[in-house]
Amino acid sequence: MDCFGRDKFSDYRDDMGGVGSFLRQNRTLYVGRMHVSSEENKMEETVSRHFAEWGDIERIRVLNDRGVAFVTYVNEANAQFAKEAMAHQSLDHDEVLNVRWATEDPNPHAQRREKRRLEEQTAEAIKRLLPASYVAEIEGRHKDAKRLKEQEDKQANEARMLEQSAYSEQAEADAEAENDVDDIPAIEDAKPSGIISEDALRDLQQTLALPAPEPIAPKKISLLASAYDSDDDDD
């Protein structure tokens, strides 16, 4: 909607009149049928004097020989109000002004300027939605922003130095370990082939090879002999 609460359309009218389009922010008015004067500066001063009543003007371009001027306001709402206020009016003479929306400037420099202005306007709108402290920190205007930046850089440097030192110490430890392995003499022949040493196995085999001792049979005493001996004792 425009400043009067009227809905905009997707495109401009053929005569570039009416409310305008919501697809492009237009702040420039085409002012035609002006009284032609031989003094260009005087025409620009006249246009500025009459149109500045409706808002801050960013720039004015006057085509003196054609009686045409392009008036660009700082805000689109001021351009909308000025278009309705100055339509069919006159300046310092009896002319009847033809005020309508200006078409897009084909000048590449003007297009780049308008693009940059829209980007800045978008950035300002975003900053208004963010907390002031956050915006100040992003822009580096925070009173502690410099100190925080230096502290972060210092911590990053310390972490990088510690990492490099750890790598160096690990490399030295690996080199020393390799040297220690090279200095160990070969003792493969002295290693036992199993849990029991060869000497213990040899002693065990010799022990098993010895003949086992014959068992001693116990004496058998007959009951008869026992009885005989008892009789002799009685005699």
DSSP string for residues in 160-179:
HHHHHHHHHHHHHHHHHHHH
Residues 192, 193, 197: CA angle, nearest 5 degrees: 50
Average pLDDT on 150-166 reads 83
151 domain-assigned: no
Interatomic CA distance for residues 194 and 164, integer angstroms: 47
- DSSP annotation of 61 reads E
Task: Report the DSSP beta bridge partners of residue 98.
Answer: 32
Specify the pLDDT at position 125: 84
Residues 61 and 47 sit within 8 Å (Cβ to Cβ): no
- This prediction's pTM: 0.49
pLDDT band at 211 (very low <50, low <70, confident <90, very high): low
Structural domain count of the chain: 1
42 domain-assigned: yes
pLDDT band at 190 (very low <50, low <70, confident <90, very high): very low
Residue written as token pair 């493969």: 188
Residue 72: which H helix or E strand, with range? strand 68-73
CB atoms within 10 A of CB 126: 10
Of the candidates 205, 25, 34, the one whose C-alpha atom is nearest the C-alpha of residue 115 is 25
Amino acid at 46: T
Average pLDDT on 6-26 reads 78
Average pLDDT on 198-215 reads 69
Of 50-59, 101-110, 223-232, where does the model show the most confidence? 50-59
- DSSP annotation of 190 reads T
- Tokens representing residue 139 in the block: 């822009």
Interatomic CA distance for residues 154 and 140, integer angstroms: 18
Specify the pLDDT at position 181: 59
Q: Inform me whether the pLDDT recorded for 233 exceeds 60.
A: no
179 domain-assigned: no
Bigger pLDDT: 111 vs 95: 95
Q: Inform me whether the pLDDT recorded for 67 exceeds 50.
A: yes
177 domain-assigned: no
97 domain-assigned: yes
96 domain-assigned: yes
Q: In terms of residue numbers, what domain contains 77?
A: 28-104
83 domain-assigned: yes
Residues 33 and 95 sit within 8 Å (Cβ to Cβ): yes
Q: Inform me whether the pLDDT recorded for 111 exceeds 70.
A: yes
Residue 28: which H helix or E strand, with range? strand 28-32
224 domain-assigned: no
CATH code for position 60: 3.30.70.330
Specify the pLDDT at position 157: 85
Of the candidates 78, 72, 19, 28, the one whose C-alpha atom is nearest the C-alpha of residue 53 is 78
